[in-house]
Amino acid sequence: MLRKGYWVECIPVNGNLQQEADGLSYTASAASFPDVCAHASSPDKAIEALRSKLNRLKEQYEAEGEVFPALDNPLEPSHRHRRVYGWISVYMKVEEFSECE
């Protein structure tokens, strides 16, 4: 199986599924980038914000001649936050990073 991206996990910050009016926000992160995360009012927005951050990070790595962390297996999602109610995980291909800008 070709590895073309990274698993992104998104969880509700307060651990339960309430309405946005109650102040719920979401955090998106990827295990391959432990220092990078994004926060937003919905999972989609958090994932898009993370995609934007990873796109900038990819450009920085390329400009400095560094290599991106090893790609994740697309068949086996990360399980770091699986026990959090409302957890979702999506596989983001590296070529999708540039779609956000």
Give the pLDDT confidence score for residue 15 in this predicted structure: 47
Alpha-carbon torsion (3, 5, 6, 9), positive or negative: negative
pLDDT averaged per 10 residues, the chain (length 101) = 84 62 78 92 92 90 89 81 81 71 45
Contact 62, 79 (CB under 8 A): no
Q: State the pTM of this model.
A: 0.78
Q: How many other CB atoms sit within 10 Å of the CB of residue 72?
A: 20
